[in-house]
Chain A
């Protein structure tokens, strides 16, 4: 089969799976909502900019007012469903599901890029310290709010993540070249150092210990459309640009010198891939904390299914990562499930990172024993 046909059919299949997972997930909870009603509620929630009204805002101190544009939105669909169902889906469940999908996209895409980049099956999105940096930033913001005067938790985590990635890159770069092995080792060293810093801050965090710990375990509770509004655009733009470099990723698998002989500007491409993967990871980690195994396991599974060609691997991994995290977060968030036919049961609410690791690690071990994972 032609590769482009395979890419489109796999992507369409995984896209459909994602839609199905989202609809089922949005229906599950203490109140069961029928899939067709969920679908209508989701469609009802879609708005497009309808126009711009000019409002005037008072300017303090100076007096008077200046005009500023205020866009208005219009619903595209207006299906007639119960208001409670609409509210449950649109404001209670959907933000969290959308954020889970976004973070899943981000981690799986970044994991795919990092594994190819390092030609190392154990590489994951945070291999150069992005997650440690985010955790350090977040814990600092939680434990010492006075030190982080503006921007809040997400901002601190995002800056910490990118700052760490940049630091590791700078340490590993010498004379315009960045050897991958040095990058890997510098990442490990910086992560160890940040681990010490985080532990130190936790010791002195007092009452904030629980909040910091929950953050670090990975969490999607209290998600808002604002989180999605930050993470989704960053992720989508990052993944789309990465999608333009899939041929370079393939050629880099041959080794850097081969890649150069085939015309790839190796150092520039490495910097670009590393920067984009780090930004995308940072966006995900900043809003959801450190969620393990998504970025490690999902690219591996997809590689076994579709092969190592990044032109098909990157889009399919991204979509599969979204489905995986929505599904695991659904398990994590449910305190009770009520299904049709009067089936009801309760379950503990846990941070999503526990579920991804608890499901991902055994599955990964299963893969290791069943399929020989020699290389990326």
Chain B
């Protein structure tokens, strides 16, 4: 934890900064340091002051008290030209609606290094080429900036900041408007910049991504630093529920070993937490199943996948659109998955693969299933006796895109399924399988994953 009494030592040092807009205090006594080669994520709810803090560090906003230094230079004491040689910024809004070429935009990053009337030097050209290469935008160099995709544009703006060649780099919600592939791509690039010695500070809304890529997190709430430290320290369920006003499940992300956060509506979650411990079921968890198939997408399916994977349960997933966070997680974990191209409907072979995976599994988890006409076909193929668990984090109406028949089918599945949240999914699956086994055959065989009624004695 960085204390406000710490002496400024890193390239970026924020010392006891207070900042207010008129009568409204936005930052109160904020202190933090960021070392070279360190990636610090600013997390916290909307209105916590993340963007304001970044603007104070960049020099765009002058604090009422306190100071911000970068490489021991007070950023508010020097000209914008001098400060722009110390810190570069990737803004939140990168909609550039005029047709400069990509190279011209990146060249603007050289502005602070150039004198008024001289043409670009070799050093400028080299810096531009390096920035394009680093952000893998060389191929776009001659394209107009208003004709490339949002993800590419984000990389170009990053290239512009790279060309600025500053010891400190600030990013405001760099992944806000990107799909998951581009979010990961962008943060991988940022990570490379960190490894090359920059001090990087980013406001990141997505706690999972923040935990995955940042060395340290700073949790802001109500204009103050609530907690700083490693992602594991900061993203404790206590801190999160305190700061975000809701209960959260924090699990270890199986891909990177960092924290995965699932925020749950406060009331529902606490009710379930209690229910799990003091419900009608005996509190001793039964044996965990051997293999589970997951149908669903998004953070719910990812959370289920992570939970089951950590418990040593073999999982399969899908059909799921490529690029979905759950698909990405399954890919990294080298789990079985049935991927379909985004926005494509499921094909005959996908359905066959789904049926095979369900047959091979002990149970099926429906995790925020999108009730579309494609998934309707899948639900129809679910054998009536399959042990089912339903995990729902998003309201049904947000996921319902098909007719009443699909709704009826989904409701029917839910009626014979156990409900759980992603933190309690392992227990729920275990109970579902145990009940199912009891009703068919109390004897259990240990023959692997080929029979839907088998389970192993692996425990959590």
- Partner-B contacts on A (CB < 8 A): 3-4, 244, 247, 250-251, 253-255, 257-258, 260-266, 307-309, 374-376
**Residues of chain B lying within 8 A (CB to CB) of residue A258:** 89, 91
Contact A263:B112 (CB < 8 A) given known A250-B100, A253-B98, A307-B99: yes
**Highest count of chain B CB atoms <10 Å: which of A250, A255, A258, A375:** A258
Q: Does A374 lie within 8 Å of B108, measured CB to CB?
A: no
- Partner-A contacts on B (CB < 8 A): 55, 58-60, 79-85, 87-89, 91, 96-100, 104, 108-109, 111-112, 114, 116-117, 119, 160, 164
**Residues of chain A lying within 8 A (CB to CB) of residue B111:** 247, 251, 262-264
Choice from B59, B108, B114, B160 contacting A260 with Cβ under 8 Å = B59
* In the bound complex, CA of A250 to CA of B104 (Å): 10
**Residues of chain A lying within 8 A (CB to CB) of residue B98:** 253, 308, 375-376
**Residues of chain B lying within 8 A (CB to CB) of residue A4:** 119
Query: Looking across the interface, which residue of chain B has its beta carbon closest to that of A261?
Result: B89
**Residues of chain A lying within 8 A (CB to CB) of residue B89:** 258, 261
* In the bound complex, CA of A166 to CA of B23 (Å): 31
Q: Does A309 lie within 8 Å of B80, measured CB to CB?
A: no
Choice from A262, A307, A376 contacting B108 with Cβ under 8 Å = A262
**Residues of chain B lying within 8 A (CB to CB) of residue A255:** 91
Q: Does B100 lie within 8 Å of A308, measured CB to CB?
A: yes
**Residues of chain A lying within 8 A (CB to CB) of residue B114:** 247
**Residues of chain B lying within 8 A (CB to CB) of residue A254:** 96, 108
* In the bound complex, CA of A115 to CA of B117 (Å): 23
CB distance from B109 to the nearest CB of A (A): 7
Q: Does A251 lie within 8 Å of B108, measured CB to CB?
A: yes
Query: Looking across the interface, which residue of chain A has its beta carbon closest to that of B144?
Result: A307
CB distance from B375 to the nearest CB of A (A): 39
**Highest count of chain B CB atoms <10 Å: which of A251, A253, A257, A261:** A261
Query: Looking across the interface, which residue of chain A has its beta carbon closest to that of B83?
Result: A263
**Residues of chain B lying within 8 A (CB to CB) of residue A247:** 108, 111, 114, 116
Those 3 A-B pairs whose CB atoms lie nearest each other, nearest first: A263-B112, A263-B84, A263-B81
**Residues of chain A lying within 8 A (CB to CB) of residue B83:** 263
Q: Does A266 lie within 8 Å of B100, measured CB to CB?
A: no
CB distance from B165 to the nearest CB of A (A): 12
Choice from A244, A263, A309 contacting B100 with Cβ under 8 Å = A309
Contact A257:B97 (CB < 8 A) given known A262-B109, A263-B81, A309-B104: no
Contact A257:B91 (CB < 8 A) given known A250-B100, A262-B164, A375-B98: yes
CB distance from A45 to the nearest CB of B (A): 33
Query: Looking across the interface, which residue of chain A has its beta carbon closest to that of B161?
Result: A261
**Residues of chain A lying within 8 A (CB to CB) of residue B99:** 307-308
* In the bound complex, CA of A308 to CA of B88 (Å): 24
Contact A262:B84 (CB < 8 A) given known A4-B119, A244-B116, A251-B108: yes
**Residues of chain B lying within 8 A (CB to CB) of residue A266:** 80
* In the bound complex, CA of A28 to CA of B55 (Å): 61
CB distance from B171 to the nearest CB of A (A): 12
**Residues of chain A lying within 8 A (CB to CB) of residue B164:** 262
Name A's interface SS.
loop
CB distance from B127 to the nearest CB of A (A): 14
Query: Looking across the interface, which residue of chain A has its beta carbon closest to that of B55?
Result: A257
Contact A375:B60 (CB < 8 A) given known A244-B116, A265-B81: no
Query: Looking across the interface, which residue of chain B has its beta carbon closest to that of A245?
Result: B116
Q: Does B117 lie within 8 Å of A244, measured CB to CB?
A: yes
CB distance from A116 to the nearest CB of B (A): 9
Contact A375:B58 (CB < 8 A) given known A244-B117, A261-B89, A309-B104: no
CB distance from A313 to the nearest CB of B (A): 11
Q: Does A250 lie within 8 Å of B91, measured CB to CB?
A: no
**Residues of chain B lying within 8 A (CB to CB) of residue A374:** 97
**13 residue pairs A–B, Cβ–Cβ below 8 Å:** A247-B114, A257-B55, A260-B60, A261-B58, A261-B60, A261-B87, A261-B89, A261-B91, A263-B81, A263-B84, A263-B112, A265-B79, A265-B80
CB distance from A120 to the nearest CB of B (A): 12
CB distance from A112 to the nearest CB of B (A): 13
Q: Does B60 lie within 8 Å of A307, measured CB to CB?
A: no
**Residues of chain A lying within 8 A (CB to CB) of residue B96:** 254
CB distance from B186 to the nearest CB of A (A): 18
* In the bound complex, CA of A309 to CA of B99 (Å): 9
**Residues of chain A lying within 8 A (CB to CB) of residue B91:** 255, 257-258, 261
* In the bound complex, CA of A7 to CA of B40 (Å): 44
Beyond the given A261-B60, A262-B164, could you list 6 further A-B residue pairs with CB under 8 A, ordered by the A residue number?
Answer: A4-B119, A247-B111, A254-B96, A262-B112, A308-B98, A374-B97
CB distance from A359 to the nearest CB of B (A): 27
CB distance from B96 to the nearest CB of A (A): 7
Query: Looking across the interface, which residue of chain B has its beta carbon closest to that of A266?
Result: B80
* In the bound complex, CA of A260 to CA of B62 (Å): 13
* In the bound complex, CA of A260 to CA of B80 (Å): 6
* In the bound complex, CA of A244 to CA of B117 (Å): 7
* In the bound complex, CA of A73 to CA of B82 (Å): 50
CB distance from B459 to the nearest CB of A (A): 55
CB distance from A308 to the nearest CB of B (A): 4
Choice from A244, A257, A308, A309 contacting B60 with Cβ under 8 Å = A257
* In the bound complex, CA of A138 to CA of B80 (Å): 41
**Residues of chain B lying within 8 A (CB to CB) of residue A3:** 104
* In the bound complex, CA of A244 to CA of B119 (Å): 12
**Residues of chain B lying within 8 A (CB to CB) of residue A307:** 99-100
CB distance from A7 to the nearest CB of B (A): 12
Query: Looking across the interface, which residue of chain A has its beta carbon closest to that of B119?
Result: A4
Q: Does B85 lie within 8 Å of A263, measured CB to CB?
A: yes
* In the bound complex, CA of A3 to CA of B119 (Å): 11
**Residues of chain B lying within 8 A (CB to CB) of residue A250:** 100, 104, 108
CB distance from A123 to the nearest CB of B (A): 14
* In the bound complex, CA of A266 to CA of B84 (Å): 13
* In the bound complex, CA of A3 to CA of B142 (Å): 12
Query: Looking across the interface, which residue of chain A has its beta carbon closest to that of B91?
Result: A258
CB distance from B311 to the nearest CB of A (A): 47
**Residues of chain A lying within 8 A (CB to CB) of residue B81:** 263-265
**Residues of chain A lying within 8 A (CB to CB) of residue B85:** 263
CB distance from B44 to the nearest CB of A (A): 21
* In the bound complex, CA of A335 to CA of B96 (Å): 49
**Residues of chain A lying within 8 A (CB to CB) of residue B80:** 260-261, 263-266
CB distance from B429 to the nearest CB of A (A): 50
* In the bound complex, CA of A375 to CA of B145 (Å): 14
CB distance from A6 to the nearest CB of B (A): 12
**Residues of chain A lying within 8 A (CB to CB) of residue B79:** 265
CB distance from A268 to the nearest CB of B (A): 9
* In the bound complex, CA of A266 to CA of B81 (Å): 10
